[in-house]
A and B are shown apart, each in its own frame.
Chain A
Amino acid sequence: MFSLTRRRVTGLMAGVALVAGLGAAQAQEDDIVIGGSIPLTGVFAFAGVAIEAGMQDYITQVNEAGGIGGRNLRLAYEDTGYKVDQSVAVFNKLTSQDEIHLYYGDSTGFAKTIAPELNRMGGMIMGGASFASELNDPEEHPYMFMAGPDYSEMIAILMEYIAEETPGAKIVLVNSDTEFGRDPIESSRAKASELGLEIVEEIITPPTAVDVSTEVLKLRRARPDYTIFHGYILAPLPEFMTQAQQLGLETKFMGTFWSMDSSIWDSVGEPADGFMGVMPYRYYYDEEADAPTMAKIREMRPEYQATGYMQGYLSAMLMAESARRVLDQGQELTGTNLKAAMNTIQDFDTGGLIGIPISIPGNSVPVGRVYQYSAAEKKMQPVSDWITVTE
């Protein structure tokens, strides 16, 4: 007669746990792992939280549809606090725990720090939150990509729009004194002169700037038609715009991707009305008929999702598509194969996440559209067609 003693029960439980563990390990071994140094705390946390949600949702969709060649996608990530040393530590930890061929990095600093290691390893491709122009160089950074236009291309998109609307317009560039902020200054000058636009003042603000009275005084002297901000999320843009309006300046204010989330402008109210900027993706609430991906996202998440979500979603989509193309050809998942596969992406339909089919000739997706904030609607509304820029 089989009697259940405490020892037997313990042994039985240990056995079950071992079998279940082995099973899980087996399942995980087959997974295609996307590693992630993601900023869930710190100054960039608002983006990191949204990026993680976007990546997870796309991964869930792929896995529910059977994965890639029968293998599931899995996101292995840790918080970096938006600190380069922490991001590197997370990278080292994750790459030693799993076999990783796809990676999401959180900053320009991290991408540049890890680039030599990435080139040496040759085993993976890396996207991330940085749209640094410097990373958009396939010669120097053969394993990097970005799910949108680089910062120089973003300004170029804005300038193409300005040249169309107001030929010969006067422009002031306002950039934060950070690596992120200073990125497109050189290329902006070149693009402006190519399009016959005049840069009448360049203002650099310290990263911790709160009061911008002095900078607004410079703006009043320059009297530009357009003021382009780059290197900011929100502050000190609202104060800049409020004071400029107080002084009766009629300049139009513009920004780049990371300051284009509409929810951050909702609390600003009236002064935000008319703020424009470049956006590579559709907004959560864009309801065009040709955008099944947007409908799917709204179905999965009934509440508003920030722009970082779309960026994370598209990053995961491009990674998955590259992996799929490599595996379909019976090749190994290596950095070279994945990047080559990514560069074969041509006229690719994102399901309306971006309004036109996209191609990735180099390291970026050089497409964007100009949107304008309506304080009454509390929404960003498109004011241009999709604009593609090429070097």
Chain B
Amino acid sequence: MTDLLFLLEVSLAGLGSGALLSLTALAFVLIYKATRVINLAVGEILMLGSYLFFAFAAGMGLSVWLALPLAVAGGALTGAVVERGLIRPMLGESPISVFMVTVGLGSVLIGLVELIWGTDPRSLPPFIANTPVFLGEAYVSRKILVAFLVAAAVMAAFMLLFRYWRGGVALRATATDQAAAYSCGINVPGVFSAAWTVGCGIAAGAGVLLGAIGGISPSMGVFGLSALVVVIVGGLDSILGALIGGLALGLIQSWAGTYLGGEYQGVVTFGLLIVALMVRPYGLFGTHEIERL
């Protein structure tokens, strides 16, 4: 009985951290879906978002409830500027060039944060209560529960938006066929811009949640790598894939960490990536593109 309760607690913790992975994966998916660019700087935008929150809440002493939307807006603005200034001029260039630009962008953002806020790891001002939550007898960290609920709400909202909102449909149309979308009167560059803006805003928000749990440092962007595994397994252009992939990876990592030991988490994570790529190279829920010669 105790062992069952322990398994339940471990699984809940895994689902919680999996939700954070899903949220970060959503940023990858949104940008890829619209622009076919894998933005490797998502991890660094996430890091920037947490530092912006730190600056607004701790540095300027604003209320955390004001600092949070400002941090998200800051991330979104960064996304918009990057898209307009760096990515759009590269339209038509080889995908690897654009990919490398995002790699460089990540390094630039790390450098900027180190210049402005220094290199010390820091803690965010507390804005989630510390009292533990018990679901029945099972313990759940409140921060993890909050992260799970926020991630679930954001993911649900985006799934609905893509299904029913005109802008969402425009993004799906752009993703399917850019030329056809143009001819239907869809503002394709506008869609690109919107995807980068919203994607980076989400990454910044995920950064604040992540920072609230684990503290912030210029190197926290490596979290983006785990989220990249999620999108590759789930499908680069599938929001459902990001959701299920994130939760599954969180759960598997948690079980592996508990029953095999923390040293096996990386092996299991990347082992899963290799198997997924061998079985379904386009991801569990991704679009299977057939290229005709």
Closest A residue by C-beta to B225: A208
A217-B13, A263-B120 known; A210+B258 contact, CB < 8 A: no
List A contacts of B111 (CB < 8 A). Answer: 41
Q: Is A92 an interface residue (CB 8 A)?
A: no
User: In the complex, what distance in Å separates the CA atom of A267 from the CA atom of B125?
Assistant: 8
Shortest C-beta distance, B49 to chain A (Å), equals 15
Q: Which of B167-175, B179-187, B216-224 is found at the contact surface with chain A?
A: B216-224
Shortest C-beta distance, B48 to chain A (Å), equals 16
Q: Is B69 an interface residue (CB 8 A)?
A: no
- Beta-carbon contacts under 8 Å, A176-229 to B: 177, 203-206, 208-211, 213-218, 220-221
List A contacts of B141 (CB < 8 A). Answer: 211, 213, 216, 243, 246
Q: Which of B26-34, B195-203, B207-215, B231-239 is found at the contact surface with chain A?
A: B207-215
A211/B263 in contact, CB under 8 A: no
Shortest C-beta distance, B122 to chain A (Å), equals 5
Q: Is B22 an interface residue (CB 8 A)?
A: no
A246/B217 in contact, CB under 8 A: no
Q: Is B73 an interface residue (CB 8 A)?
A: no
B213/A211 in contact, CB under 8 A: yes
A206-B257, A211-B16 known; A217+B217 contact, CB < 8 A: no
List B contacts of A208 (CB < 8 A). Answer: 222-223, 225-226
- Beta-carbon contacts under 8 Å, A361-375 to B: none
Q: Is A382 an interface residue (CB 8 A)?
A: no
Shortest C-beta distance, A221 to chain B (Å), equals 7
Shortest C-beta distance, A107 to chain B (Å), equals 14
B215/A239 in contact, CB under 8 A: yes
Shortest C-beta distance, A268 to chain B (Å), equals 5
Q: Which single member of A209, A239, A246, A267 contacts B132 (CB below 8 Å)?
A: A246
B266/A42 in contact, CB under 8 A: no
* A-B CB pair tally, cutoff 8 Å: 125
A208-B222, A264-B121 known; A41+B17 contact, CB < 8 A: no
Chain A proximity mask over B112-133: 1 for CB below 8 Å, otherwise 0: 0010001111110010001110
List A contacts of B144 (CB < 8 A). Answer: 211, 213
User: In the complex, what distance in Å separates the CA atom of A77 from the CA atom of B144?
Assistant: 43
Q: Is B139 an interface residue (CB 8 A)?
A: yes
List B contacts of A233 (CB < 8 A). Answer: 121, 217
A264/B120 in contact, CB under 8 A: yes
Q: Which of A43-51, A131-139, A337-345 is found at the contact surface with chain B?
A: A43-51
Q: Which single member of B6, B214, B225 contacts A217 (CB below 8 Å)?
A: B6
Shortest C-beta distance, A88 to chain B (Å), equals 20
B258/A43 in contact, CB under 8 A: no
List B contacts of A45 (CB < 8 A). Answer: 114, 119, 218
The residue in B12, B258, B263 that gathers the most chain A C-beta atoms within 10 A of its C-beta is B263
Q: Which single member of A177, A217, A221 contacts B266 (CB below 8 Å)?
A: A177
B119/A204 in contact, CB under 8 A: no
Shortest C-beta distance, B104 to chain A (Å), equals 15
Shortest C-beta distance, A248 to chain B (Å), equals 9
List, sorted by A's number, 29 A–B pairs whose CB atoms are closer than 8 Å. A41-B110, A43-B217, A43-B218, A45-B114, A45-B119, A46-B121, A48-B119, A49-B119, A177-B262, A205-B262, A206-B257, A208-B223, A210-B214, A210-B223, A211-B16, A211-B214, A215-B262, A217-B6, A217-B9, A217-B13, A235-B121, A235-B215, A238-B123, A242-B130, A243-B141, A267-B58, A267-B122, A267-B123, A268-B123
Residues of B within 8 A of A (CB): 6, 9-10, 12-14, 16-17, 20, 58, 110-111, 114, 118-123, 126, 130-132, 139-144, 210, 213-215, 217-220, 222-223, 225-226, 253-254, 257-258, 261-263, 265-266
New contact pairs (7) apart from A208-B222, A235-B220, A264-B120, CB-CB < 8 Å: A41-B114, A177-B262, A204-B262, A210-B223, A214-B257, A238-B215, A264-B121
Residues of A within 8 A of B (CB): 41-43, 45-46, 48-49, 177, 203-206, 208-211, 213-218, 220-221, 233-236, 238-239, 242-243, 245-247, 263-264, 267-269, 306
